[in-house]
Chains A and B, each alone.
Chain A
Amino acid sequence: MSWAQASLLARGLCRGWGGICGAALTGAPFSQVPPQAPRGLHCSTAAHHSDSSLVPRPPEPPRRPAKALALHEELFRQAPDGARDKASFVQAVQKFGQHNVHRRGHVDFIYLALRKMREYGVERDLAVYNLLLDVFPKEVFRPRSVLHSIFIHYPRQQECGIAVLEQMENHGVMPNKETEFLLLQIFGRKSYPMLKFLRMKLWFSRFKNINPFPVPRDLPQDPVELARLGLRHMEPDLSARVTIYQMPSSKDSTGAADPAEPHIVGIQSPDQQAALARHNPARPIFVEGPFSLWLRDKCVYYHILRADLLPPEEREVEEIPEEWNLYYPMQLDLDYGRSSWDDYEFDIDEVEEGPVFAICMAGAHDQATLAKWIQGLQETNPALAEIPVVFRLAGSTGELLAPSSGLEEPSPPPPEGQEDEEDSQQQRQQQGQS
């Protein structure tokens, strides 16, 4: 039985027992309904909504029992406003345990806590997740017979357990042995949370290092540092040098630099430098951009300095000079080459592109700023003084996309041809975070 089916079935069962409590569409907190079913304690029936949940939300009557809501919210409100950290979160969870010896309404509480985690900055803390799981009463939900495990035992609780695991998954938190013990104690081995746990164990370890170009989890806030990171991320040559051509004149904590003096950070590798020095000054080179680059939840924009591909007739054929190697012949004087049966190359049509000479990230995307970059480049590339530089910029530009700015902020000017991609990226992004 697939997981989705299971959860739907679970929900159906919940409803069947009668305690139904809807979450508001906005995903606001909701609470326990006074238990009408005989086992109401263990099946508080709020279907919940969490952005991180993949479970489709069933239509729920918009009811909002205020009392219970107030009760749980209160737990999180107790800490003074300034201190929203792990300690206060833990305190809130512990308080729930103390106040509520019977763990009444623990499912609602857990859903609420899951939503609050981000605020408290503990969404990546495994210990906190374990603490949350610990809120479940032990042994109660364990199936006691085969029938129990065939017909989902305590579906709402299982669903809630899965929600916890899923939020862990979304934040890349790997469950540990303690999680396993808790789940065993709470739901037993033959349960859906346990299945979820096993799958996470399996796939997390395989996918954790799948990205060959890892991005650090916490991106630097300083736009210069961020630009440096982004440039390094794009440049394959490790000997390339990052140069800061201009520091932002005012270092606001918001990261938005003074428009007059935006930061300009560029990268260039020795090979690119050499290629630029060889460039024929009669052919113009282009500054193009802005192109977008996503680093986790931030989008940065970069510009490239590039040239068109040389027409085939102008390309120099690299020939081996006669007197080159003092020690051994660089070519053999034979009139036959590699035989066809030793040719492993696939027949690939390669689209050749013109050379890219440098990349830069700047705080502003106007021509004046980029001209400063070109000026800076001239110091290390004297050849640049003689080559005409054409600016091909796509519209005006905005600032870095703030991490959780939500929907209202228009996306920065997408350069031609990239709109779709960027939009979809943004959507994905917003789904992932809010």
Chain B
Amino acid sequence: MTSTSSRCRRAEGSRLECVDGQEPGASPVVQRLSLQIPLRQPRVRQFGSRKEVFPFPEVGQEELNEINQFVAPVEKFFTEEVDSQKIDREGKIPHETLEKLKSLGLFGMQVPEEYGGLGLSNTMYARLGEIISLDASIAVTLAAHQAIGLKGIILAGSEAQKAKYLPKLASGEHIAAFCLTEPASGSDAASIQTRATLSEDKKHYVLNGSKVWITNGARANIFTVFAKTSIVDSDNSVKDKITAFIVERDFGGVTNGKPEDKLGIRGSDTCEVHFENTRVPVENVLGEVGGGFKVAMNILNSGRFSMGSAVAGMLKKLIEMTTEYACMRKQFNRSLSEFGLIQEKFALMAQKAYVMESMAYLTAGMLDQPGFPDCSIEAAMVKVFSSEGAWQCVSEALQVFGGSGYVKDCPLERILRDARILLIFEGTNEILRMYIALTGLQHAGRILTARINELKRGNVTTIMETVGQRLRDSLGRTVDLGLTGKLGAVHPTVADSANKLEENVYYFGRTVETLLLRFGKTIVEEQMVLKRVANILINLYGMTAVLSRASRSIRVGLRNHDHEVLLANMFCTEAYYQNLFSLSQLDKYAPENLDEQIKKVSQQILEKRAYICAHPLDRTS
């Protein structure tokens, strides 16, 4: 099919001139955003790596047609046949709905064509995600099946494993589940208790243990299970390491707990899965024995980017529903839509949808470039931004509905409950922020090592240079990193915003340098600092994506591109000031920096495990 060919096509235009000495594996955008600036690299390099995000990735006409062909029937099915209200109420997806999903091929969207899947590129997968997300339970079921459940086989499986399992999984005959979380182990891999021991004849592993919160746990036939195995190290010491296994339900000893009664996504099937003396043949080890940690990490990292487009799809639908209500409902002889405070909410929703859409498709486009670039930071940023945007927007939409949104008859209530999970699963947003910040800083740290060492040693020239630099900055300095201008990558209409981005990037680079100088590797413990670094990075990535997309829209003359320009400028301005605030918070002596107080307050509360203030009505006499 066309997906592979289109990937190659895109490659010609975009990536060829961009690689100039970048480390492979480093996330390109972060690298560009945060790190090159403090180093004051020659401009060439900035231009070079910029090519990945400017211009905004496009798909060819052929591929576009193909996508639209897919999308139409799926959209029809979701709007006409899926009754989300019923799924939520009854707590399960009806059998015929599942069958229809299978027949549409939605169970094998990213399975390569040779194994019977659709073999969609990441961009196309994201596009379909927009539609599928119209029902959260179905979206989660499908995501658990293919974004994590069978992803391990695609990423790390051997040819034989792929040939054996993927066809049935792609057709939906078998459903996959991803079994990592345990009662005592969330993101802490060391505390995994499930064990796999090699049998006497060395042909089987015997698997024992329990996994919790497994989506599709009761429905699945194929499980990707992570368990501890004893590995003899190179130095003859025995160590426990994690290994991934493909476990069929038919191997025996697989039982389920009762389904969890959840707040949202009630139609998805979540339960405990117990393995009791399950005999797994050695050929079902996924990847290497003892290499399960990497497998798990890769699967988790690869599954995230699609949340952006999914939420954007949901938000678009939400805007339709809410605008309708706002225009119909009258108060004081005016419709709600005439009130400024209501209008504001729509601007917010549109802006969020626009940004996360841009981020998601930019990331998908980068992922579709040849050479499997590692975009896990970008994917994590998309996930954090979109999940938080979703929660905020759904809440605002519900606010428009007022009391009528709070009752079960209104779908808003269900959407709100469903949206809450987005902040939690696939790595909670807190954890992903750590990931974003630390991975970025790790990279920055490597580049800045020499410079910081010189500063620490007290090299006079470097210090003078730095001081002089800061002095000049404080006197007011226009930052120009070459995004704008005659041959600039962004359109002049959004040049102001581009300048804001440049300024943010510049000062962020400086702040990162200071942070590394201050904390060094102990910055791992400074979670509040890291959170801000991550927030800034997310904003910067959002700004980049928005500018890139808006520039493209203007240049190719898409419909309503002036609206896009408005949204882009709005977001950039907001993000700019947010970033400035965060940057000043990162300054040690800034009055905005409340870290010490925050820590103290929480310490006192946690010590007593209660709110410790006296009641306002209390008296001492």
Q: A residues engaging B (CB < 8 A)?
A: 174-176, 201, 204-206, 208-209, 236, 238, 321, 323-339, 341-342
Contacts and interface: CB of A to CB of B under 8 A. Distances in A.
25 contacts: A204-B620, A204-B621, A205-B621, A209-B620, A323-B189, A323-B242, A323-B293, A325-B188, A326-B180, A326-B293, A326-B297, A327-B187, A327-B434, A329-B439, A332-B441, A332-B442, A333-B445, A334-B442, A335-B449, A336-B453, A337-B520, A338-B519, A339-B520, A341-B518, A342-B518
Interface in B582-621: 588, 607-609, 614, 620-621
B446 interface: yes
B295 to A, nearest CB: 11
The 7 lowest CB-CB distance pairs between A and B, nearest first, are A205-B620, A328-B435, A323-B293, A337-B520, A336-B520, A334-B521, A328-B434
Interface residues of B, number: 42
A271 to B, nearest CB: 14
A309 B121 CA distance: 61
A326 B524 CA distance: 15
B37 interface: no
Interface of B: 180, 187-190, 241-242, 293, 296-297, 300, 427, 431-432, 434-435, 438-439, 441-442, 445-446, 449, 452-453, 456, 516-524, 588, 607-609, 614, 620-621
Contacts of B241: 323
- Binding site secondary structure of chain A: loop
A327 B620 contact: no
Contact of A334 (B297, B516, B518): B516
Contact of B300 (A205, A327, A336): A327
Contacts of A236: 607
Given A323-B293, A325-B188, A327-B435, A332 B521 contact: yes
Contact of A342 (B180, B438, B452, B519): B519
Nearest to B297: A326
A229 B137 CA distance: 51
A327 B516 contact: no
Contacts of A328: 431-432, 434-435, 438-439
A208 B189 CA distance: 49
A332 B621 contact: no
A336 B449 contact: yes
A174 B621 contact: yes
Contacts of B620: 174, 204-206, 208-209
B7 to A, nearest CB: 28
Nearest to A236: B607
A329 B293 contact: no
Contact of B432 (A323, A327, A329): A327
Given A323-B189, A326-B300, A339 B456 contact: yes
A321 B427 CA distance: 20
Contacts of B588: 342
B190 A321 contact: yes
Contacts of A337: 520-522
A326 B441 contact: no
A326 B296 contact: yes
B621 A329 contact: no
Given A238-B609, A325-B187, A338-B518, A330 B300 contact: no
A336 B522 CA distance: 9
Nearest to A332: B521
Given A325-B189, A326-B293, A326-B296, A332 B518 contact: no
